Structure 1
Amino acid sequence: MSGGDGQPRDGSGADQPQPGRSEAEESRRGAAYGFTAYAVWGLFPLYFAALKPAGAWEILSHRILWTLLLCLVVLGLRRDLVWLRDLARRPRLAGGVTAAALLIGVNWVVYVAAVLNDHTTEAALGYFLNPIVTVALGVLVLRERLRPLQWVAVAIGALAGVYLSVAAGSVPVIALTLAFSFGGYGLVKKKVGVSLTAMQSLSAETLVLGPIAVVMLAVLTVRGDTTFTTDGAWHMTLLVLAGVATATPLLLFAAAARRVPLVTIGLLQFITPVLQLLCGVLLLHEHMSTARWTGFAIVWLALVVLTVDTLRHRTGLARARAAELADITP
């Protein structure tokens, strides 16, 4: 997830597992990388709040352009730019990258706008809902078959959405937009296939968004709505560092994904919305009504069911493999 932001993909060329280390050591390192990545994403509300008075569109533009520059510098130092030519020759992959870029762009700007407008807790709800939405999209788009407990989790998640809409008198648009844009992003990545490393993928997606970011900055500048050169050196530095803030947790995640099982990654992902919620309530002082807490509790129940199902399924697969190995062992 990418604090509302990260892009879960392997093969970034980040820290690789070392042959001399034991599996347990690599697993511990992987868990530490994963924890750090999700913690950074979870603390993004504080970072974006510190960027005020910049607006969501200005922050998005700087985030895209500085991330793109950072990625291109790193890839240039690695002499890893040939893939751009290959990407241009593969229309299906290029189309998938474009669709993914637009979806993650929507996710980024809605998330930043939510934080800047004191809706961090609703953004957290979106990332709590994301696993449930991802499962639902798998059924609706990929025609995947769900296990019984997965159906229960989806049903409870849908109930939470209905409850929150009725209790608040309006649909939780921010939460649903974040959940579906990030879920759709993951779906596009799955359909296209993992053919680019994490750094390459982030570079390609920000390259697609780059012209849009330039136009947005130009419009904001003409309107006098930019803060990059008017609010001091510290503010300018924070906007420039948006590129580092975007790329760092992604690379940490990629390093973690090569070292720990997918089920561990699945459990670690809840760190992000938990920290977002805590930031919103405790540090940014957003109000949480009793109805909103109740809605969150229903979502958490759905996530508990989904997690139990994942753990049971993984345990069953492990036992099946063990039995299979026992059968073929002389």
Structure 2
Amino acid sequence: MLPTVTDAEAAKGVGFGLAAYLMWGCFPLFFALFEGVPAHEILIHRVLWSCLFLAGVVTLLRRWRPVREALARPRRLGRVLACALLIAANWGLYIYAVETRQVLQASLGYFLTPLVNVGLGLLVLRERLGRLQGLAVALAAGAIAMQLVLLGEPPWISLALAMSFGTYGLLRKQVPLDGLSGLFVETLLLLPMGLAALAWLEQAGLSHFLAESRTTALLVTSGVITALPLLAFAGAARRLRLATLGFLLYLNPSLQFLIALLVFHEPLDAVRLATFALIWASLGLYSWASWRRPVSPARA
């Protein structure tokens, strides 16, 4: 029996989803290549070259119409600017985590992100959770509290990554732009700040751009690798159910976790291992509970 068009499209969607999450999961290997280049300078170039590359993609795909419509309504760009600042903070902190070999914390942050999304939906959107879903969120909060008590400090990189990306997702849902157009407008709004920061680095003699061909190539490539997984994710999102995308989501932090242990040889003590175990348990419980009973929207 020949597969139906729906089956073929779903299979293609899984391929796109796997490609997107594999690329995101391998990001630590790329950003670890920047030796001696501070995180803030990498972030500046990531914004600049992402904007340039996305402009080419938007032109190639003839997707300028939603971009022009968004820019024609400057009063509505406030939320887009907030998204841009949040994603820039998330990118910069992630690069810092890789440079300082704290990829385990970055991995934990992205494991926490779905649960932060749930918490924000509960607090901001007044969504209602089932008993098991609420227990899963409480279990994750308990894991963070345990690390705070036993180690004396919270995993601040993990929390900041999860909160920035979770809040970005919340605001992004309220912006009527698709993934490609939205990211392009966000980087376009950050472009003046990026150019000003780059000019300051050049004037102060602190810029690493053009210092070595290898570093220059890496800085330019940072913009390309930012856009590629987004394009793959967009292809997956059009073809797959949200539940399938949610399942694939865990591939990204799982790869980061393995890279932190096997490539960067980051230490994993008993307390941090217990934190991960509790987070994994809470994600498993939440996923199973959501499959049995979806989150209910707030009543008007």
Q: Do both proteins adopt the same fold according to a TM-score greater than 0.5, normalized to the shorter chain? A: yes
8 Å Cα contact 1:66/1:243 also seen in 2: yes
Cα distance in structure 1, aligned partners of 2:6 and 2:184? 31
Cα distance in structure 2, aligned partners of 1:190 and 1:197? 10
Corresponding residue of 1:323: none
Aligned residue runs from structure 1 range 291-310, under 5 A: 291-310=271-290
| Match 1:71 to one of 54, 59, 71 | 54
Q: Compared with structure 1, are the counterparts of its residues 76 and 26 closer, same or farther at alpha carbon in structure 2 (3 Å cutoff)?
A: closer
1:154 equivalent to 2:137? Answer yes
Residue identity opposite 1:218 in structure 2: A
Aligned length: 292
| Match 2:226 to one of 216, 241, 246 | 246
Q: Compared with structure 1, are the counterparts of its residues 206 and 124 closer, same or farther at alpha carbon in structure 2 (3 Å cutoff)?
A: same
Cα distance in structure 1, aligned partners of 2:268 and 2:206? 31
Aligned residue runs from structure 1 range 1-330, under 5 A: 22-91=5-74, 93-192=76-175, 195-230=176-211, 232-313=212-293
Cα distance in structure 1, aligned partners of 2:25 and 2:75? 33
Comparing 92-101 with 118-127, which one deviates more in the overlay?
Answer: 92-101
Could you list the per-position Cα deviations for residues 261-289 of structure 1 after superposition, in whole angstroms to 9, with x for gaps in the alignment?
11110010000001111111110121111
Cα distance in structure 1, aligned partners of 2:274 and 2:13? 34
Cα distance in structure 2, aligned partners of 1:30 and 1:75? 21
8 Å Cα contact 1:64/1:206 also seen in 2: yes
Cα distance in structure 2, aligned partners of 1:275 and 1:183? 20
1:78 Cα deviation from its structure 2 partner: 4.1
Cα distance in structure 2, aligned partners of 1:236 and 1:153? 45
Q: Compared with structure 1, are the counterparts of its residues 284 and 141 closer, same or farther at alpha carbon in structure 2 (3 Å cutoff)?
A: same
Cα distance in structure 2, aligned partners of 1:75 and 1:21? 31
Structure 2: runs of 5 or more not aligned: 295-300
1:238 Cα deviation from its structure 2 partner: 1.4
Residue identity opposite 1:181 in structure 2: S
Could you list the per-position Cα deviations for residues 121-160 of structure 1 after superposition, in whole angstroms to 9, with x for gaps in the alignment?
0011100111111000001111111111110111001001
Cα distance in structure 2, aligned partners of 1:62 and 1:161? 33
Q: Over aligned residues, Cα RMSD in angstroms?
A: 1.6
**Secondary structure at the counterpart of residue 241 of structure 1:** helix
Cα distance in structure 2, aligned partners of 1:224 and 1:306? 51
1:235 Cα deviation from its structure 2 partner: 2.0
Residue identity opposite 1:176 in structure 2: L
Residue identity opposite 2:257 in structure 1: L
1:92 Cα deviation from its structure 2 partner: 5.6
Structure 1: runs of 5 or more not aligned: 1-19, 315-330
8 Å Cα contact 2:130/2:293 also seen in 1: no
**Secondary structure at the counterpart of residue 208 of structure 2:** coil
- The TM-score, its normalising length taken from structure 1, stands at 0.85
8 Å Cα contact 2:28/2:256 also seen in 1: yes
8 Å Cα contact 1:66/1:242 also seen in 2: yes
1:21 Cα deviation from its structure 2 partner: 6.0
8 Å Cα contact 1:97/1:205 also seen in 2: yes
Corresponding residue of 1:320: none
Cα distance in structure 2, aligned partners of 1:278 and 1:219? 38
Cα distance in structure 1, aligned partners of 2:115 and 2:78? 26
Corresponding residue of 1:321: none
